[in-house]
């Protein structure tokens, strides 16, 4: 019987169903998979360095190499210089050194940059060569706690938390080099941890380790998959027991409580956890849980799901993401969290560390579950929130960003941490706000690159996130495959994959179809592809040869989303659009610990609303302009590859209060027809990631 070809209207794809029985072949997994009793995962990591960025993405990583990522030891030597405890020194011995290397190491190996590898090497060598007889890894503890030095975190050297960051570093180093010393050192350390945790639990020195222990557990399971050491499963259960019960908190009934008098640290209890106290903690509370802890906690239940096999963990995390969006969400995919979760007012800060950590959590969840909801959100955060929070040269950053920010000065008072951070949370600087983000910002782009492609357990390949890049991997029964991905995504609709194979081979090729993409089209060598659709993934199973080309077209439709007090945002495909505001910069130096920083001021009006009647007919109300673009660095107003033009309604009554845009209580959203016409002006919207100043959530006006 001939194959039955069926058109899938929702995606514009076709798949082939054949009643003929095919000869079964044993799946081939060329890369590390979960050992029993861990649940098998649908996607497998590739060795670090297998995936290479191209085009603007390579430029982005090179800017990091030339900026803070590649030179932080010169810019911030007092913390990540030779005195650092992870280099054997008597200086800073906590999280900031490992944070930096957690981004520098993958950057070095992805770019194959000898200079960057040399910067990484001392951190790896000291850590591996100075492991204690007990198995302890890390800075040598002081016999007596040292005197405090301004700007340094010298104490708490035995805290479990910063070691978790170095565990990730060592894992990545092994993935790039296969240095067996890593396996030996981690085995000894985890046996030490198994012995010590009963008496010195995760939070014996600080709360951070039991909030972020998913990072610890993830590396424990990774090592188990390599060695099969049963003691690691025992350790995993102990870590799970001592970890803050994120899954329980995520499933607690919402209880929207506003209590500005309670500091967010005070509501968090330590191990052993009191169930009555835990039951009171929800994601709806304002001020709420620590935003970076939440970002890291989003992967913890799903990491443990590999052992438990209980899919309730996945449901709990997805509920958490929905609740975060409802109570604290902003259009760029993140949430109001100026250290604690703090509601969804578009002037509330989004901490850069929370972006870095949520991206890593979503990447982790995607590999383990194969659930494309995590990929959709990861894509939105990466292509909207991430680019805007660092300067183009990657030499400064904001501690906080916001969906609506029209002045960046030290006078903004929307931040929960205004008093502690001297008003510097929103300005661009090296140490403005708090220094954690200066060291933790570096992992975001390299780890995103590392997750552009995966292997599949049956010898196939998956492309679930799209960007200009290439990959080399083994497929089928040992064939060598190289894929070059050419695309203007996320600004353009087409993604092209050119395949180069060592031999003809049969294997599946997985492609993600984003939720926002309607009538997507896949072609192989110019003809409609035969593909099956499973959970937003198109799987093309065929015999491939060198020269084959796969083209994926993802139509992007204009749409609106509704946010704080019914404000509206314009979106198209993966991108969120913001008002284009020309600006000017001023350098300010207060001669204090925050160092010189850059303030940014608008040079034109920013206070515009959108007319309700234009939002009901976006296709006819908005002019879409694709600017000439050669694929180079896109993330600023000058280089924005795409713009939207539409009519805006000027609202002179919308002013700043302490540098933040605040609508007056008297605003009704109603306006007379003649006045609406008089106030109309053509405005330009650009991708959120291209902006510095912006209005992203617009008030809506209607004719009264």
d(CA 262, CA 251): 22
533 & 642 share domain:
no
d(CA 99, CA 108): 15
459 & 501 share domain:
yes
294 lies in a domain?
no
Contact 512, 536 (CB under 8 A): yes
For residue 410, give the 3-state DSSP assignment: coil
Contact 66, 60 (CB under 8 A): no
523 & 606 share domain:
no
Nearest of 342, 403, 405, 331 to residue 661 by alpha carbon: 405
State residue 617's pLDDT score: 94
Pick the last residue of a domain from 553, 572, 600: 553
525 lies in a domain?
yes
570 lies in a domain?
yes
- State the DSSP H helix or E strand holding residue 547, giving kind and residue range, or none if neither: none
State residue 268's pLDDT score: 55
531 & 573 share domain:
no
State residue 260's pLDDT score: 45
464 & 584 share domain:
no
d(CA 698, CA 687): 15
Pick the last residue of a domain from 521, 553, 585: 553
659 & 633 share domain:
yes
For residue 282, give the 3-state DSSP assignment: coil
State residue 342's pLDDT score: 92
Q: What is the DSSP letter of 329?
A: B
- The tokens describing 18, both together, are 């054949």
Establish how many alpha carbons lie within 13 A of residue 387's alpha carbon, considering only the half-sphere containing its beta carbon.
Answer: 26
d(CA 292, CA 207): 13
State residue 649's pLDDT score: 97
Q: What is the DSSP letter of 529?
A: P
Domain that holds residue 507: 4-43+452-553
686 & 623 share domain:
yes
Task: Determine the Cα angle at 117 with ends 55 and 60, to 5°.
Answer: 20
d(CA 439, CA 39): 34
H-only helix segments in 515-666: 612-615, 618-621
473 & 539 share domain:
yes
State residue 270's pLDDT score: 83
CATH number at residue 500: 2.60.40
Pick the last residue of a domain from 538, 553, 568: 553
- The tokens describing 583, both together, are 């600006």
Dmax (CA) for the chain in angstroms is 82
d(CA 155, CA 142): 8
Q: Which CA distances in Å does 673 have to 608, 611, 654, 665, 670?
A: 16, 11, 19, 22, 10
201 lies in a domain?
no
SS (H, E, C) 135-182: CCCCCCCCCCCCCCCCCCCCCCCCCHHHHHHHHHHHHHHHHHHCCHHH
By percentage, how much of the chain surpasses pLDDT 90? 89
State residue 704's pLDDT score: 87
Q: What is the dihedral of CA 482, 115, 129, 163, to 10 degrees?
A: -70
d(CA 547, CA 304): 42
State residue 28's pLDDT score: 81
* Terminal-residue alpha carbon distance, the chain: 65
- Residue 184's DSSP bridge partners are none
574 & 461 share domain:
no
State residue 145's pLDDT score: 83
d(CA 645, CA 649): 13
- State the DSSP H helix or E strand holding residue 683, giving kind and residue range, or none if neither: strand 680-687
Q: What is the DSSP string of 50-81?
A: SEEE-HHHHHHHHHHHHSHHHHHHHHSHHHHS
Which residue reads 């001939």 in tokens? Answer: 2
Q: Helix 372-388 crosses helix 312-328 at what angle (to 10 degrees)?
A: 40
d(CA 594, CA 430): 8
Which residue reads 């990540």 in tokens? Answer: 80
Contact 451, 363 (CB under 8 A): yes
Q: What is the DSSP letter of 573?
A: T
The residues, ordered by sequence, that sit 6+ positions from 538 with a Cβ below 8 Å of its Cβ are 11, 13, 510, 511, 512, 513, 520, 522, 529, 531, 532
585 & 691 share domain:
yes
527 lies in a domain?
yes
User: How many other CB atoms sit within 10 Å of the CB of residue 460?
Assistant: 24
189 lies in a domain?
no
- The tokens describing 542, both together, are 């065929």
168 lies in a domain?
no
State residue 27's pLDDT score: 65
Strand order in the sheet with 527-528: 51-53, 469-475, 479-487, 494-501, 549-553, 521-524, 527-528
State residue 3's pLDDT score: 33
371 lies in a domain?
no
643 & 603 share domain:
yes
d(CA 26, CA 588): 65
549 & 563 share domain:
no
**Tally of structural domains, the chain:** 2
Residue stretches of the chain with pLDDT short of 70? 1-27, 255-269
d(CA 170, CA 179): 10
State residue 25's pLDDT score: 54
């Amino acid at each position: 019987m001939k194959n039955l070809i069926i058109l899938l209207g929702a995606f514009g794809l076709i798949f082939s169903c054949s009643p003929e029985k095919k000869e079964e072949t044993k799946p081939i997994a060329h890369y590390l998979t979960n050992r029993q009793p861990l649940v098998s995962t649908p996607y497998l990591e590739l060795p670090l360095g297998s995936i290479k960025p191209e085009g603007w993405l390579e430029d982005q990583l090179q800017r990091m190499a030339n900026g803070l990522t590649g030179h932080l030891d010169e810019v911030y030597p007092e913390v990540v210089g030779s005195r650092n405890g992870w280099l054997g020194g008597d200086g800073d011995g906590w999280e900031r050194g490992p944070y930096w290397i957690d981004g520098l190491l993958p950057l070095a190996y992805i770019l194959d940059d000898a200079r960057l590898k040399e910067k990484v090497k001392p951190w790896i060598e000291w850590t591996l060569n100075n492991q204690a007889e007990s198995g302890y890894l890390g800075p040598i503890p002081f016999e007596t706690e040292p005197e405090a030095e301004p700007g340094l975190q010298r104490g708490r050297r035995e805290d479990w938390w910063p070691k978790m960051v170095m565990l990730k570093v060592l894992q990545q180093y092994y993935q790039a080099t296969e240095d067996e010393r890593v396996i030996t050192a981690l085995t000894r350390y985890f046996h030490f941890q198994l012995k010590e945790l009963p008496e010195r639990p995760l939070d014996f020195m600080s709360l951070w380790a039991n909030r972020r222990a998913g990072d610890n557990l993830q590396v424990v399971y990774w090592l188990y998959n390599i060695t099969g050491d049963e003691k690691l499963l025992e350790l995993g259960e102990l870590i799970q027991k001592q970890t803050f019960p994120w899954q329980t908190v995520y499933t607690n009934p919402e209880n929207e409580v506003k209590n500005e008098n309670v500091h967010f640290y005070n509501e968090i209890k330590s191990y052993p956890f009191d169930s009555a106290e835990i039951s009171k903690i929800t994601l709806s509370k304002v001020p709420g849980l620590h935003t970076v802890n939440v970002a890291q906690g989003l992967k913890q239940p799903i990491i443990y799901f590999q052992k438990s096999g209980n899919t309730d963990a996945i449901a709990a995390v997805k509920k958490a993401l929905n609740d975060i969006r409802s109570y604290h969400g902003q259009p760029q995919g993140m949430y109001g969290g100026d250290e604690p979760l703090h509601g969804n007012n578009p002037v509330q800060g989004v901490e850069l560390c929370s972006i870095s950590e949520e991206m890593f959590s979503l990447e982790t969840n995607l590999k383990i579950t194969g659930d494309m909801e995590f990929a959709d959100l990861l894509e939105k955060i990466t292509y909207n929130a991430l680019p805007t929070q660092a300067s183009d040269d990657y030499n400064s950053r904001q501690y906080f960003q916001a969906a609506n920010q029209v002045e960046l000065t030290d006078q903004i008072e929307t931040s929960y941490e205004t008093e502690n951070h001297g008003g510097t949370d929103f300005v661009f600087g090296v140490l403005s706000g708090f220094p954690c983000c200066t060291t933790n910002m570096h992992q975001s782009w390299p780890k995103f690159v590392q997750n552009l492609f995966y292997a599949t357990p049956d010898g196939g390949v998956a492309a679930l996130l799209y960007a200009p890049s290439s990959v080399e991997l083994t497929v089928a029964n040992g064939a060598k495959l190289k894929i070059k991905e050419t695309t203007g995504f996320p600004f353009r609709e087409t993604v092209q994959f050119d395949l180069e194979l060592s031999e003809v081979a049969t294997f599946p090729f997985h492609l993600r179809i984003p939720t926002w993409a309607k009538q997507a089209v896949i072609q192989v060598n110019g003809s409609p592809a035969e593909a099956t659709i499973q959970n937003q993934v198109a799987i093309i199973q065929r015999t491939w040869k060198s020269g084959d080309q796969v083209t994926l077209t993802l139509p992007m439709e204009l749409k609106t989303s509704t946010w704080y007090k019914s404000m509206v945002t314009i979106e198209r495909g993966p991108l969120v659009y913001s008002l284009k505001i020309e600006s000017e910069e001023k350098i300010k130096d207060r001669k204090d610990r925050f160092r010189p920083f850059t303030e940014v001021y608008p040079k034109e009006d920013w206070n515009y609303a959108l007319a309700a009647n234009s939002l009901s007919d976006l296709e006819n109300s908005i002019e879409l302009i694709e600017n000439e673009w050669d694929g180079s660095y896109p993330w600023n107003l000058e280089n924005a590859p795409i713009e939207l033009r539409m009519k805006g309604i000027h609202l002179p009554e919308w002013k700043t209060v302490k540098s933040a845009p605040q609508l007056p209580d008297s605003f009704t959203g109603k306006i007379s027809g003649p006045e609406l016409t008089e106030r109309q002006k053509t405005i330009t919207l650009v991708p959120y990631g291209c902006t510095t100043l912006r209005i992203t959530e617009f008030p809506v006006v209607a004719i009264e």
